[in-house]
Structure 1
C-alpha cells in the first residue's frame, strides 16, 4: 500500500479545517498585538531551523534523516496546536493567527532552507537527493494554500455551514495525524526500531529545546502567561503531516526514509505536549 495517497488527503483536510477557523481578525492581530506574533514567528521561522540544524549535526544522524529533521523544522505550525492551546488555557486567537501566518510564510522559506540543506549535505555515491523546487511550490499551493483559502471563503460566505464542517473535522484532525503516523510506523517499523535510539533522542531534544525557546522568547518579549503557553506549544508543534507529504510525495522527494523523522516527531510531539498540558492544568488548579 502506498501511504502517500492517505497522506495527501489528510494534509488537505487539515489545511481546509484550518481555513474554516480563520477570519480577517486573525491577520489583523499583528497590528493589535505585534510582540507575541513577532516572537512566535521568530521562533518558528528562524529559531527552530537553527536548532534542528545544530542538534542534527551534533547527533551526527544520517544524511536522509538530517533532511527529514530539517523538513520538520521548516514546516508551519500544526493545526492541532489550536486545540492544545485551548486545553492549556492559552491564547487561542494568538495560536490560530500564528498557525495562519506560518502556513503562508513557510510556503516561501521552506524551499529556500531545504535547498541550502541539500547543498550542505551534498550528493554522494550512496545518496542522491534532489529538490524539484517547482514541484514543491505547486504541491504546497495545491495542498496547503488552496484548501486554506477555500476554508476562509466558506467561513466568510457560509458561516453556519463552516461551523458544522469545522465541528466534524476538528474532532478528526488529531486521530487523522496519529493514523497517518501509525501507518508509516507499521510500514517502516524495522528501520525505525534500528534508528530510534539516536534519532529519537535527536527529535526529543529538538522538541524540548523548541518549547524552551518559545518560553525564552516570551520572557524576552515580556508576554503574558497565556501568550507564553501558546508560544511554547506553537514552536514545539509543527505540521508533521506536511513534512511527511513532502518527503514521500512522488512529485518532490519521493523517499519514505526522509519521512521517518516526521513520523517519530508526530508521536513524540503529542506525548510531550500532552504531558505539558497536564502539568499546566495541575499547576493551575
Structure 2
C-alpha cells in the first residue's frame, strides 16, 4: 500500500470511523450531566482552544525548529482531542463524561477555528510567501466530514439501535477502530521512516514538551480551582493528548505537505510515553491510598 493511498484515502476513513465510534458512546444525558458543572467545561475548553496553541507558540519561539516542523507543532495544538484521550481518562479513572464532552465540544469548534488560526500561523511563519495556504471553507468541509458529522451519525445510530445490539456492538467497534488507527499510524511511520526526525532531535523534544507541559498546565489549574479528583484527571488528559490523526489528515490531504505531517506523526507515537508514565503513577498512588485506608 503506497504512502499516498494511506494518507489521502485510508487515514480520513479511519478517522471518521473513530469519531463515529465516539458518537456511539455519547448520549444527550452525558452533556446534561456535565453542564451541571459549567466551570469544569469552561476550564477544559479554554485550555484546549486558547492555552495550548499559545503554549505551542512558546515552544516555537524557544526552540529553533525549521518552519515546516514549527507548522506541524502548531497544527497539533489546534486539533480536537479524540477517542485516545477518552480512553486514557477511562484508564486513569477520570471523569469520563467530562472527557467525552470536552472532546465533543472541541470536535464542534475545531472545523471552524483550526483553518482560521492555522492560516494565521502559516503567515506568521512566513510560509504563505512560499505559496502554502489553507483554504478556509474547503478545510471546514473536510474537517466536518471526518470529525463532527461522524460523531453525530454515531449518536443517531445509537438512538436507533436496540439496547442488546449496542451492548454487543460497542466493545467490538472500540477494538476495531483502535486497532485500525494504530495500524494506519504504524504504516505511515514505516512509509515515512527515512524522513522522520531522529529520536534525539529538536522535533522530539518539542512534541514531548507540548504533551508534558499541556498535561501539567491542565492538572495545576484544575487543582487550584479545587475541582473533584476525577475531573482533574480528565482535564489533565484532555489538555495533554491531542488527535494527531486529524493533524496528519490536514497536513497530508489538505495542505499536501508531508513535511508538516511528520511532527504530528512523531507526536502520535511519543505522546504515549509521558501519558502512560503519568497514568501508572496515578494508579500506583490510588493503590497506596486504598491500602492505607484499609489499615486499622
TM-score by length of structure 1 reads 0.93
Within a 5 Å distance, the mapping from 1:123-134 to structure 2 comes to 123=127, 127-134=130-137
State the aligned residue count.
282
Aligned residue among 42, 51, 56 for 1:52? 56
What residue in structure 2 maps to residue 73 of structure 1?
77
**Structure 2 residue matching 1:177: 3-state secondary structure:** helix
Question: Whole-Å Cα distance in 1 between the matches of residues 70 and 172 of structure 2?
Answer: 36
What residue in structure 1 maps to residue 217 of structure 2?
213
Moved more, 173-182 or 64-73: 173-182
Question: Whole-Å Cα distance in 1 between the matches of residues 22 and 175 of structure 2?
Answer: 13
Q: Tell me, yes or no, if the aligned pair for 1:178 and 1:267 is still in contact at 8 Å.
A: no
What residue in structure 2 maps to residue 137 of structure 1?
140
Question: Whole-Å Cα distance in 2 between the matches of residues 195 and 152 of structure 1?
Answer: 40
Question: Whole-Å Cα distance in 2 between the matches of residues 165 and 119 of structure 1?
Answer: 45
Question: Whole-Å Cα distance in 2 between the matches of residues 52 and 238 of structure 1?
Answer: 12
Pairwise CA distance, 1:82: 1.5
Moved more, 188-197 or 143-152: 188-197
Aligned residue among 164, 172, 177 for 1:168? 172
RMSD: 1.7
Q: 1:71 to 1:153 in 2, by over 3 A?
A: same
Pairwise CA distance, 1:233: 0.8
Question: Whole-Å Cα distance in 1 between the matches of residues 20 and 70 of structure 2?
Answer: 30
What residue in structure 2 maps to residue 82 of structure 1?
86
Any idea what the Cα deviations from partners look like across 1:240-262, whole Å, max 9, x if unmatched?
A: 1111111100xx10111111111
1:23 matches 2:27: yes
Return the index of the structure with the highest Cα Rg.
2
Within a 5 Å distance, the mapping from 1:1-285 to structure 2 comes to 1=2, 2=4, 3-4=6-7, 5-123=9-127, 127-160=130-163, 161-194=165-198, 197-249=201-253, 252-285=254-287
Q: Tell me, yes or no, if the aligned pair for 1:36 and 1:221 is still in contact at 8 Å.
A: no
Pairwise CA distance, 1:21: 1.0
Moved more, 114-123 or 46-55: 114-123
**Structure 1 residues not aligned, in runs of 5+:** none
Pairwise CA distance, 1:163: 4.1
Any idea what the Cα deviations from partners look like across 1:114-155, whole Å, max 9, x if unmatched?
A: 011011012377x43111112111101111122111101011
Q: Tell me, yes or no, if the aligned pair for 2:18 and 2:178 is still in contact at 8 Å.
A: no
